[in-house]
Structures are given as C-alpha cells and as structure tokens.
Amino acid sequence: MDSVTMVGVGPCIPSAFLEGNNRSDTSFGTDLQLNLKNYMDWLDEKPNESVIYIAFGSYVEIPNQLMEDIAQGLLKSGRPFLWVVWKGKNGGKSEENLRCKEELEKQGKIVNWCSQVEVLHHSSLGCS
C-alpha cells in the first residue's frame, strides 16, 4: 500500500450545508429512498435534543451479540433513538432477530437507511 495515490472527491455533502444556505432544502437529491421518509416525520414529533442517533455505515456488519448489547443500552437509556441497521450482504434484517425488538419499537425507530445529512441537522438530535 506504499504506492497508493489518494485523490480527494468532494465535497461529500451538498454545498448548501457548507455555505449556510437554506439547510432544509433537500432538492439536491441525496435521499435515494424517498419512500422511507417516515423517519423524518418521527423525528419531527420528538422534543429538541432528545433523540440518540446510531449508525455504523453500510460496510459494517454488527455481530448478533453486539446488536443485543447495543439494544439493551438503548433501552436502558430511556431516550428515543433512531438506529440505522444495514441489511447486510444477504439482504437480511439483523434487527429482526433481537430478543427485545418489541420493546425497542416502542421507544425508538429502526430503519435500514436514512439521509444522514438531514438527520444530523434535525433539532431533535442530541441529549441535553
């Protein structure tokens, strides 16, 4: 790997977010799965700075025991959460196997994908 040349590609987020323009303008089209927008409606219902956001990216597959540990931690926090769980290489839903799935769904929201730019900008994120 000594001879690898790195080339920056970017910006990785829309310039509207960098330049202080209207951050609610999502016309840049980064939300590839518009039918999954109900997570934004869910966030809109939550108080400011109350939601925990968990996302490990689309290249990370979390082992079952670690998924259980994260789930238990979220439940013990008592806070609403948005947890992005990637489907995995085989398209399976690893959250389906969680022993406490029903409890999790009462406290938070589990999705397979979301627009991270929009979610991170939302006023409900954060714990104060």
Rounded Cα–Cα distance for residues 48 and 27 (Å): 24
DSSP letter for 12, please: S
Q: pTM (2 decimals)?
A: 0.71
Q: What digits encode the pLDDT tens for the residues 12-30?
A: 666 555 655 555 555 555 5
Is the predicted pLDDT of residue 35 greater than 50, yes or no?
A: no
Mean pLDDT of all residues in 34-44: 79
What backbone phi and psi angles, to 5 degrees, belong to 7?
Answer: -125, 125
pLDDT tens for 93-128 read 566 678 888 899 999 999 988 888 889 999 999 876
- Lowest-pLDDT choice from 19-28, 45-54, 69-78: 19-28
Q: What is the mean pLDDT of the chain?
A: 78
Whether the pLDDT of residue 71 is over 90: the answer is yes
Identify the three-state secondary structure at position 82: strand
> Reduced to 3 DSSP states, what percent helix, strand and coil does the chain have, rounded to the nearest 5?
35, 10, 55
- Kindly report the CATH number that applies to the domain delimited by 31-121: 3.40.50.2000
Share of the chain above pLDDT 90, in %: 38
